[in-house]
Amino acid sequence: MQTHLWHHQDLNEAIHALTEGEVVAFPTETVYGLGANAYCDAAVQKVYQAKGRPSDNPLIVHCHSLSQIQEILGSVSEDFQQLAEQFWPGPLTLIVEVPEGIFPKSVTGGLSTVAFRVPNHPVALDLLKGLSFPLVGPSANLSGKPSPTTAAHVLHDLSGRIAGVLDGGTTQVGVESTVVDLSVTPPMILRPGAITEEMLLSVLPQVYWDPHVFDPITQPKSPGMKYKHYAPDTPVSMVRDEDWDDLVKEVLAHNNRVGILADQEIISLFDEQVTTTYSLTKDYNISRANQHLFSGLRALDAYDLDHIFVQVFPDEGLGKAYMNRLKKAANQQYYHFKQ
């Protein structure tokens, strides 16, 4: 299959393909999503096929507005309405109980709940408004690879496997949406993102964290499989602030082919003649680091390197999303100095 590269002005081509049951990648403010008609089982199956994703992993349903979701569900809870009004369109996904039969099992993974999100991107919103159905939208990468933050990343992974990509430029947020489960009391954060716990607490009286977010060791069954997420082919290690000087010495001594993904100050410690570097941020800015984490991992993975070393950030606020993705990419490994 030839994969078309479309732009905002080609929206009708994308609408046509999606209406025909094809799969089209689209930009959001977080990462690119892999769109298909959420009401059509055959179209949703194509998404799983294109990604190589296990089909028991449920998908997020993308809508253009809260009112579209109200129409689908009949009504929504007070918490749902308040969070939606405060943070949508935006990087927040809300999980609620949904009556059986509205979405095919391929969307829900067989669960009684569905995840909804209204993305904050002009191309995504125009696309969703132009369709008579909502779109499923898992990140538009091959399963296990870092999520795509440009149309080029999508083509790298999925060219020939999907009908088209709508190019909406580089995504702003860079990590996937915060996922909040409203089907439990009190609500539970299942995935950290740019809508932080502190922001949620401005609306909700209470919110819990899914313990798996911080302690992936407790995840049941085939941990190796569960860890391998967001991972480039090159091995990745995290580096604590106090260990960079040791790493500089080690690289000089052993002449390893390494990639460094860190802020400008750390990059300046390395000799750029012999080390491949990618700047996360100029001035230790965590939103910038989130924005560049996946693109940096992808860029460094394209070189022939022995190892990629990545800066850690404090595991708080926006840093929770960063560290959650980085720990998975690094399979929990930290750098330790080898004499």
Residue 177 CB, nearest distance to ligand TXA (Å)? Answer: 4
The residue at minimum Cβ distance from Mg ion is 139
State which of positions 132-151 bind Mg ion (CB under 5 A): 139
Pick the stretch among 131-139, 166-174, 252-260, 262-270 that binds Mg ion (CB under 5 A): 131-139
The contacts of residue 310 (CB under 8 Å, 6+ apart) are 236, 237, 238, 239, 261, 262, 293, 296, 297, 326, 329, 330
**11-36: b or e for each residue (b if 16 or more CB lie within 10 Å)?**
bebbbebbeebbbbbbbbbbbbbbbb
Residue 32 CB, nearest distance to Mg ion (Å)? Answer: 10
The contacts of residue 213 (CB under 8 Å, 6+ apart) are 189, 190, 191, 192, 320, 324
State which of positions 278-307 bind Mg ion (CB under 5 A): none
In DSSP notation, 143-188 reads TTSPPPSSHHHHHHHHTTTSSEEE---S-SS-SPPEEEE-SSSS-E
Number of amino acids touching Mg ion (CB under 5 A): 1
| Partner from ligand TXA, Mg ion, none binding residue 31, C-beta < 5-8 Å depending on class | ligand TXA
| Cα angle value 236/140/13 (rounded, 5°) | 155
DSSP-derived 3-state class of residue 320:
helix
Tokens 């479309």 found at: 6
Residue 249 CB, nearest distance to ligand TXA (Å)? Answer: 39
Q: Which is nearer to Mg ion, 139 or 291 (CB)?
A: 139
Residue 191 CB, nearest distance to ligand TXA (Å)? Answer: 6
Provide the binding-site residues for ligand TXA, judged by CB under 6 A.
Answer: 28, 30-31, 33, 57-60, 91, 93, 95, 111, 113-115, 117, 119, 137-139, 176-177, 179, 190-191
Q: Which is nearer to ligand TXA, 180 or 260 (CB)?
A: 180
Longest dimension (CA), the chain: 66
| Partner from ligand TXA, Mg ion, none binding residue 137, C-beta < 5-8 Å depending on class | ligand TXA
In the sheet that 307-311 helps form, which strands lie side by side, from edge to edge?
Answer: 236-239, 307-311, 258-262, 276-279
| Partner from Mg ion, ligand TXA, none binding residue 232, C-beta < 5-8 Å depending on class | none
Q: Which is nearer to Mg ion, 37 or 139 (CB)?
A: 139
Residue 60 CB, nearest distance to ligand TXA (Å)? Answer: 5
Estimate to the nearest angstrom the gap between the alpha carbon of 50 and the chain centroid: 17
Q: Which is nearer to Mg ion, 109 or 130 (CB)?
A: 109
Q: Which is nearer to ligand TXA, 57 or 333 (CB)?
A: 57
Q: Which residues bind Mg ion (CB under 5 A)?
A: 139
